[in-house]
Amino acid sequence: MLSRDFVRNLRANGVSEWSILFKHSLRHVSVTVLTVAGNNLIGLLGSAVVIEELFGLPGLGSAAVTAASSGDIPVIQGVAVYFTLIVVGLNLLLDLAIGWLNPQAVAA
C-alpha cells in the first residue's frame, strides 16, 4: 500500500510520513479490515449455535436446536428473525463506517 502512486506523489509534495500513514493509507486499508471483521463477527454468530449446543450453555442457539428437535416452529422463526436482524444491523453499521472512512468506496 505504501508503494502506490498516490503515496509517492504525497512524498514528492513533502507530506510527512505520519500524515501519509494515518490520514491517507490507513483509510484505504480500513475498508478491507472492516469488511473482514464484519464477516468474522457474522460467522461467530453462527458458530455460537454450535458452541452452545456442544457445551450445554443456555442461549438462543441451544433454544433453536431444542425447538427444532421438538418441532416448535414459532420459536425457530423467532430465533431466525432475531439472528437476521443482528446480521442486517451489523452490515448496516459496517456500511456506514466504510462510507465515513472512505467515501470513494461507496460511490463506486
CB 83 within 8 A of CB 45: yes
User: To which residue does cell 505504501 refer?
Assistant: 2
Question: Higher model confidence: residue 24 or residue 45?
Answer: 45
Q: Residues 9-20: what's their mean pLDDT?
A: 86
The percent of the chain in helix, strand and coil, each rounded to the nearest 5, is: 85, 0, 15
Q: Amino acid letter at 21?
A: L
pLDDT (tens digit per residue) in 40-59: 988 888 888 888 888 888 88
pTM higher than the cut 0.95: no
Q: Amino acid letter at 46?
A: G
- Angstrom distance (rounded) from CA 42 to CA 94: 12
